[in-house]
């Protein structure tokens, strides 16, 4: 029988994450939304605490960097609730507090998840403790990661990187950046590899920081690479180009990070639903879970629809994470979760602003901020449209060339 409750082994972690979100992130949420590009110093202590929990083993998968797919055949024994599930549960709780602040937390970047996804054991040990941003998007490329133009040329014991990356989350603050580049453009997506470039490496520079609609606590950078030399051992995974395998090695990163982004959307949407329920109750609107929606007020019926959509997104996200923990291929489910949660997050937060009226639109409450923050979660790590395309290809058994 399927059990949809939070696994007992993760309940303490989820409770801790919720307390942090409520007592540490919510109180400074508006402050750093207004002070764009100012680093939230309060996060240093929190990041140190998460590091301590992770190193002690007391909280498996604490934070976004906890994601790691075990190698091997699918586990046919008892179901496992491991680091992937723990990560999405804790990330959702933290984003109930503030998405931008979570993205600003040291050593919890999407680049850290990329390292955890594809790095060798030696690289994992050597890169332990780094705060890694992830640089994929380029001008004119957008969500089509397979057409990356940033090049990596082998020169002795180094790779020489040239290109431009945009919309790099924590690109200025992070200790290093995971850069996606191609070893040979003529070989297509199979030649795309990821490289860890340490901050301060000659030839790498932050060109500018972007001003954004939401997640304003998080810095988003444009980074230029001009003859930037990276040690060969900083290429994540294997340097071999396997044309038959294609893009699978690089895409393994997305299989783990997309459920995390879905979890961010779930947490932000849950925050909006919780506050809206309170505001509706204060206005005399009762949401009755024992009566059909069509027999209740329009506001109550809308709220019930939003909650049901949210629950569907949540279950898809938990499924994708659980499959990773149990060594089952989850590319389809990761894209489904990202597509559903991204769309639901935007729909829920904007609808909650509408339900709350003037209160939702003003800065007196955080509803308008959550609506702004949630939109990026439907865009980065692959837009809504790209996720639907990936899902269609996998369901129909078609290649990217056959279905564009």
Cβ neighbours for 21, distance < 8 A, ≥ 6 positions apart: 93, 94, 95, 96, 97, 98, 267
Which run of H or of E encompasses 198? strand 192-198
DSSP state letter for 134: E
* CB contact set of 77 (below 8 Å; sequence gap of 6+): none
Count of H helices and E strands in the chain? 13, 7
Q: Is 194 left (phi over 0), alpha (psi -120 to 50) or beta?
A: beta
Maximum Cα–Cα distance across the chain: 73
pLDDT of residue 1: 40
Q: What is the pTM of this model?
A: 0.92
266: left (phi over 0), alpha (psi -120 to 50) or beta: alpha
Which residues face 65 on adjacent strands? none
Which of 93, 164, 368, 381 is the catalytic position?
A: 381
Based on the residue annotation, tell me whether 381 is a catalytic residue of this protein. yes
All domains in the chain, ordered by first residue: 8-126 (1.10.540), 132-234 (2.40.110.10), 248-396 (1.20.140.10)
pLDDT in tens, 13-43: 899 999 999 999 999 999 999 999 999 999 9
Six token digits for residue 194: 């990821």
Tens digits of residue pLDDT in 330-347: 999 999 999 999 999 999
- 174/130 Cα distance (integer angstroms): 8
DSSP-derived pairing of the beta strands 132-135 and 151-155: unpaired
Query: Tell me, what DSSP letter sits at residue 160?
Result: E
Number of Cβ within 10 Å of residue 244's Cβ equals 6
Which residues in the chain show pLDDT less than 50?
A: 1, 62, 66
Structure tokens at 42: 């309060």
Structure tokens belonging to residue 332: 């389809």
């Amino acid at each position: 029988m399927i059990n949809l409750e939070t696994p007992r082994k993760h309940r303490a972690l989820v409770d801790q994450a919720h307390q942090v979100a409520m007592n540490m992130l919510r109180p400074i949420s508006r402050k750093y939304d207004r002070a764009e590009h100012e680093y939230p110093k309060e996060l240093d202590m929190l990041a140190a605490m998460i590091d301590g929990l992770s190193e002690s083993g007391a909280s498996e998968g604490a934070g976004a960097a906890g994601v790691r797919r075990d190698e091997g055949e699918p586990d046919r024994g008892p179901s496992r609730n491991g680091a992937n599930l723990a990560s999405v549960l804790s990330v959702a709780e933290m984003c109930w507090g503030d998405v931008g602040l979570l993205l600003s937390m040291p050593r919890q970047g999407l680049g850290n998840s990329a390292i955890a996804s594809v790095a060798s054991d030696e690289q994992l040990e050597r890169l332990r403790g780094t705060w890694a941003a992830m640089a994929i998007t380029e001008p004119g490329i957008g969500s089509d990661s397979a057409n990356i133009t940033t090049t990596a040329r082998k020169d002795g014991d180094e790779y020489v990187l040239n290109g431009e990356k945009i919309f790099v989350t924590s690109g200025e603050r992070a200790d290093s950046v995971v850069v996606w580049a191609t070893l040979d453009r003529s070989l297509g997506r199979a030649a795309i590899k990821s490289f860890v470039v340490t901050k301060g490496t000659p030839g790498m520079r932050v060109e500018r920081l972007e001003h954004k609609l939401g997640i304003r606590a998080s810095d988003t950078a444009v980074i230029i690479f001009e003859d930037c030399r990276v040690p060969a051992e900083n290429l994540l995974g294997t340097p071999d180009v396997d044309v038959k395998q294609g893009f699978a090695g690089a895409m393994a990163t997305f299989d783990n990070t997309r459920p995390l982004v879905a979890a961010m959307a779930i947490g932000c949407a849950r925050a909006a639903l919780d506050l809206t329920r309170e505001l509706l109750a204060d206005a005399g609107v009762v949401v009755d879970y024992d009566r059909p929606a069509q027999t209740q007020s329009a506001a109550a019926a809308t709220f019930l629809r939003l909650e049901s959509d949210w629950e569907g997104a949540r279950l898809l996200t938990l499924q994708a994470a659980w499959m990773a923990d149990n060594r089952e291929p989850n590319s389809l489910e990761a894209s489904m979760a990202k597509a559903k949660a991204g769309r639901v997050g935007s729909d829920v937060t904007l609808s909650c602003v509408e339900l709350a009226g003037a209160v939702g639109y003003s800065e007196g409450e955080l509803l308008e901020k959550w609506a702004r923050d949630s939109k990026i979660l439907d865009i980065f790590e692959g837009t809504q449209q790209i996720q639907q395309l990936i899902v269609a290809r996998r369901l129909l058994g078609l290649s990217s060339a056959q279905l564009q």
